[in-house]
Structure 1
Amino acid sequence: MLKDRFRPDADYRMFIGGEWVAAPDSFEAVDPSLGSAWAAIGNGTAGQADAAVDAARRALPSWQRSTPATRQALLAAIADRIEANAELFARLLPTENGRPVREVAIADLPASAAIYRYYAGLTRAHRGDQIPVEDPHSLVYTVREPLGVIAAILPWNSPLITTANKLAPALACGNTVVLKPSEFASASVLEFVALIADLLPPGVVNVVTGFGPGVGAALVGHPDVAKVTLTGGGPTARAVMATAAGALTPTIMELGGKGAMIVAKDADLDRAVADAALGIYLANGEACIASSRLLLHSSIAEEFLGRFAALASTITVGDALDPATQVGPLVSRPHFDRVNGHLQRAREQGVRVLAGDEELVLDPVNRNGFFLRPTLLHDPSGTADVVTSEVFGPVTVAESFTDYDEVVERANGTRYGLAAGVWTTDLARAHRIAGDLRAGIVWVNKWFDLPAGAPMGGVKDSGFGRELSWETMLEYSAPKTVNIDLGAPRFPLWG
């Protein structure tokens, strides 16, 4: 039975300094299952972005002196609030960005809560070191200090999880934060902050909504922002880094990918096919870590493709709020058009469509939604543009190989380096290929497993910095060296 669509009680305002603040105008949030507006989001200004940074700056001295116990309790309470409001997000996320409702319960909610609990624990372990030195009259140690105001630029595909990835470690280290959600997924961030607002000292967390050229540019170029963290695409990252450079502000970049899944001749095909489908069709394929490129040993390629195509053709596409839906709509009309543009170019370059051309039967109410069938493309030689371009939709492309050294070279032959994987029952082969793949995450005989504590991030055009792990605490803090004299004799250099 279709869940009720989420409808806000009023137009959305921004959250600045502990107060809900109206923007001078607004823009529409569009339900991708219907193609129609469902909410009005405040379109903030550069001046309001400045006000949010100022509020975070004023809240910083008190918050950075808060005890580990205080920060730990806050993060644990946030996790509790998420779990206690599962029904809210089960209606909101599908309405907002087309996330299938069944995935909210199995992915978004448990993953988000786990991230806050993980960093709640790390607040107790975040510390400096004693530095061994030769001088017996010196004591040298470091303390880890928060950086200051963090500007977090969020994407639209998993707003609850990516908010957790940035907010939890930043708060755990004692920073204050200004969140700038995507214009396609602002409501979920605002509703989340409304749920936890009473837990927060004013100004510790702020939300400014709007568009990149106005609000985003004002945030990342602000001289009082200590660090910018972005999850997004390459063009946005380059614009953000160029603006941040003017203020010498460091950045963390979690960007796109073209995840290569290598299937060896000895792979368990039942598991490999299931994992490949999970890797590309979960989250409607709108994931940077999607298994969007399949490299199949020629001896098993035909059987694998037959099984995968048969599975893809059975996947239920429909309204994101329908529990029976397995793949929902793409997030917006412009993105839908971009994905279809990739498919059109692939066809023009001779790529075969093995699944995805079946008739798409939808309820009449969804006729204006942004739906696409799960698609499997086949380009044996791996020369088409779609092999190396990030499509960011329910589209994967398969190619064949015979030599394992060559396939690693082909897998590494893109500008991306976020996620990759190998399916094999040969332990030596698994270790060798995992070591040779140039990616921040390498899975062996699995995909899409991101437990809290395992560093997430990429190389090359997939970005830099790591989220979801202990190493992230180092991204949001800096060491201060304390060097103490214990009575060292002074050399008579003067007089």
Structure 2
Amino acid sequence: MTPSRPAFAPAEPYRMRIGEAWREARATFAAVDPSTGETWARIPQGTAADVDDAVAAARAAFPAWRRTTPATRQELLWRIADRVEADPDRWARLLATENGRPIREAHVADVPTCAGIFRFFSGVVRDLRGDQIPVEAPERLVYTTREPLGVIAALIPWNSPIITLANKLAPALAAGNTVVVKPSELASASVLEFARLVEDLLPPGVLNVVTGGGPEAGAALVAHPDVAKISFTGGPETARRIMAAAGTVLTPSIMELGGKGAMIVCADADVPRAVSDALTGIYLANGEACIAASRLLVHDAVHDEFLAEFERRARTIVVGDALDPRSQFGPMVSRGQRDRVEACVAAAIAEGATLRVGGTRPALGAPFDDGFFLEPTLLEEPAGTTSASRSEIFGPVTVLERVGDDEEAIARANGTPYGLAAGVWTTDLARAHRIAQRLDVGVAWVNTWFDLPIGAPMGGVKESGFGRETCAETLLEYSAPRVVNIDLGPTRPHLWGDA
């Protein structure tokens, strides 16, 4: 590892957390720093047997954990948030080293958001309640309680690992469940560090972490008969495989999947502000985000002005080492991801798109020659007919399209299999409401992008998944109603035998 860089270094070799023990694996795989291409840690390669043990540990811990009081769970979630916030520099260095998240973003986004999610569910856990059901018979009392489900399988992606971990772990624990986490192979260290951070707060078995490949550890977890629910964030193709495996044991799931976010810029939009939001929408998190603004549907009247301003500002973005606070944009998470994004750009150009900005690997010099960098990229294709307008690229690539009116913009925005997020830029309040109401998405923004306040439901429709995270309703995803039906009457009719 390059000695002059403040890269994260683990205090000890990484091991999996199963029950009350930290377990080594027979094999490991490399954790690679995306800025340099160098190995910085080794991650345990978990097996199906490790998954069995982790699920067994979670199942054994469940009866006691479900009986803890809301006050107990509330305090523990709040203390977890305190610990996350206690050393933000350490988390920021870890995320920059692990997946290439620019360290300035990790400070302002990942760390406070992770802590904020735990604080939110610390609060709403006290409001998880059942209901009294009105029935016609006056001698009947019928009410419900909300009961935890059991063992939750949480599958975490690599692009925002501690935020996504919080999205799944906080509500699952708040509702009284135990959890087995399988992180992405590209971002396992942050999840293991989190498990180490909270190991003395949570009883053994309440949180278990099995690292390793999807075909072995992940597949064993989603098909396990003792898993009560699966919570997955990732791509639709992986989701289909998970649901097929889960279907063999009838395990329900929450799916937060991909997107092809369309940003509609109307003729009356504030163009400089719209460009600022478009840049944030596509280049935050190095473009590796499901809610990225990966399509820009710009009205004829402001198309040329928008294009010129976007090009000008995109060319000034500082690309560099994720650990350098001066870097505004870092590397792709892996060589394979960088190569895949490059192939998507090449395909779109072959189909008729014009490369306006970026699309090449920057020359940053040693020690970054082997890093997985790709410049922020803008394609232009007025009709929106190339693969860049239809398929999720999951990288720093957006395509500029030209539209003539609101109806055309809405039709194009809704014309993909995805339905996660979209937005409209206009100074006309009535137009904003009309368009937002017709976008087939889970999140519709007006004059902003990438604004996800904790408490607002996050999730999609169509191939973008189902279920909602980061909101009070999420607790309902991790619990089920139990009906209690009490006969308060003094008599009942005799239907069998002699009275």
TM-score range, shorter chain: over 0.9
Equivalence for 1:311: 313
Q: In the aligned structure 1, how far is the partner of 2:291 from the partner of 2:5?
A: 29
- Once the two structures are superposed, residues 363-407 of structure 1 have per-residue CA deviations (whole angstroms, 9 ceiling, x without a partner) of 321000010111111000111111011111111001011121121
Equivalence for 1:171: 173
Asked whether the 8 Å contact 1:316–1:326 carries over to 2, the reply is: yes
Q: Percent identity?
A: 63
Asked whether the 8 Å contact 1:286–1:392 carries over to 2, the reply is: yes
Q: Which amino acid aligns with 1:416?
A: Y
Q: In the aligned structure 2, how far is the partner of 1:358 from the partner of 1:273?
A: 22
Q: In the aligned structure 1, how far is the partner of 2:220 from the partner of 2:491?
A: 52
Asked whether the 8 Å contact 2:151–2:177 carries over to 1, the reply is: yes
Q: In the aligned structure 1, how far is the partner of 2:125 from the partner of 2:8?
A: 35
Q: Is 1:87 aligned to residue 92 of structure 2? A: no
Equivalence for 2:227: 225
Equivalence for 1:60: 62
- Once the two structures are superposed, residues 320-341 of structure 1 have per-residue CA deviations (whole angstroms, 9 ceiling, x without a partner) of 0000101100000111111001
Q: In the aligned structure 2, how far is the partner of 1:358 from the partner of 1:157?
A: 21
TM-score normalised by structure 2 residue count:
0.98
Equivalence for 1:477: 479
Q: Which amino acid aligns with 2:25?
A: A
User: How far 1:13 moved relative to its partner?
Assistant: 0.5
Equivalence for 2:293: 291
Equivalence for 1:460: 462
- Of 35, 42, 45, the residue aligned with 2:44 is 42
Equivalence for 1:391: 393
Equivalence for 1:404: 406
- Of 194, 199, 202, the residue aligned with 1:200 is 202
Q: Which amino acid aligns with 1:86?
A: P
- Of 23, 32, 39, the residue aligned with 1:30 is 32
Q: Which runs of 5+ in 1 are unaligned?
A: none
SS at match of 1:89: helix
Q: In the aligned structure 2, how far is the partner of 1:105 from the partner of 1:333?
A: 25
TM-score normalised by structure 1 residue count:
0.99
Asked whether the 8 Å contact 1:313–1:358 carries over to 2, the reply is: no
Equivalence for 2:450: 448
- Once the two structures are superposed, residues 44-70 of structure 1 have per-residue CA deviations (whole angstroms, 9 ceiling, x without a partner) of 110000000000000000000000011
Equivalence for 1:112: 114
Which stretch of the first structure deviates more once superposed, 483-492 or 32-41? 483-492
Q: Residues 359 and 160 (structure 1 numbering): CA distance in 2 closer, same or farther, change over 3 Å? A: closer
SS at match of 2:144: strand
Q: Residues 464 and 285 (structure 1 numbering): CA distance in 2 closer, same or farther, change over 3 Å? A: same
Asked whether the 8 Å contact 2:332–2:372 carries over to 1, the reply is: yes
SS at match of 1:123: helix
Q: In the aligned structure 1, how far is the partner of 2:391 from the partner of 2:211?
A: 30
Equivalence for 2:368: 366
SS at match of 2:282: helix
Q: In the aligned structure 2, how far is the partner of 1:76 from the partner of 1:198?
A: 14
Q: Residues 449 and 142 (structure 1 numbering): CA distance in 2 closer, same or farther, change over 3 Å? A: same
Equivalence for 2:155: 153
User: How far 1:360 moved relative to its partner?
Assistant: 2.2
Equivalence for 2:217: 215
Q: Residues 404 and 368 (structure 1 numbering): CA distance in 2 closer, same or farther, change over 3 Å? A: same
Q: Residues 194 and 299 (structure 1 numbering): CA distance in 2 closer, same or farther, change over 3 Å? A: same
User: How far 1:357 moved relative to its partner?
Assistant: 5.0
Q: In the aligned structure 2, how far is the partner of 1:196 from the partner of 1:102?
A: 25
- Once the two structures are superposed, residues 184-233 of structure 1 have per-residue CA deviations (whole angstroms, 9 ceiling, x without a partner) of 00000001110111101000000000011111111111111000010001
SS at match of 1:310: helix
Q: Residues 295 and 144 (structure 1 numbering): CA distance in 2 closer, same or farther, change over 3 Å? A: same
SS at match of 1:261: strand
User: How far 1:90 moved relative to its partner?
Assistant: 1.6
Q: Residues 221 and 402 (structure 1 numbering): CA distance in 2 closer, same or farther, change over 3 Å? A: same
Q: Residues 54 and 399 (structure 1 numbering): CA distance in 2 closer, same or farther, change over 3 Å? A: same
Q: Which amino acid aligns with 1:380?
A: P
Q: Which amino acid aligns with 2:374?
A: L
Asked whether the 8 Å contact 1:33–1:329 carries over to 2, the reply is: yes
Equivalence for 1:101: 103
Q: In the aligned structure 1, how far is the partner of 2:360 from the partner of 2:174?
A: 49
User: How far 1:349 moved relative to its partner?
Assistant: 1.3
SS at match of 2:367: helix
SS at match of 2:179: strand
Q: Which runs of 5+ in 2 are unaligned?
A: none
- Once the two structures are superposed, residues 138-163 of structure 1 have per-residue CA deviations (whole angstroms, 9 ceiling, x without a partner) of 11100000000000000000000000
Q: Which amino acid aligns with 1:302?
A: D
Q: In the aligned structure 2, how far is the partner of 1:376 from the partner of 1:488?
A: 76
Equivalence for 2:135: 133
Q: Which amino acid aligns with 1:54?
A: A
Q: Which amino acid aligns with 2:294?
A: S
User: How far 1:270 moved relative to its partner?
Assistant: 1.5
Matched residues, number: 495
Q: Which amino acid aligns with 1:230?
A: F
Asked whether the 8 Å contact 1:3–1:91 carries over to 2, the reply is: no
Asked whether the 8 Å contact 2:363–2:369 carries over to 1, the reply is: no
SS at match of 1:470: coil
Q: In the aligned structure 1, how far is the partner of 2:449 from the partner of 2:109?
A: 14
SS at match of 2:347: helix
Asked whether the 8 Å contact 1:11–1:42 carries over to 2, the reply is: no
Asked whether the 8 Å contact 2:361–2:373 carries over to 1, the reply is: no
User: How far 1:3 moved relative to its partner?
Assistant: 5.5
SS at match of 1:442: strand
Asked whether the 8 Å contact 1:72–1:120 carries over to 2, the reply is: yes
Asked whether the 8 Å contact 2:359–2:374 carries over to 1, the reply is: no
Asked whether the 8 Å contact 1:262–1:422 carries over to 2, the reply is: yes
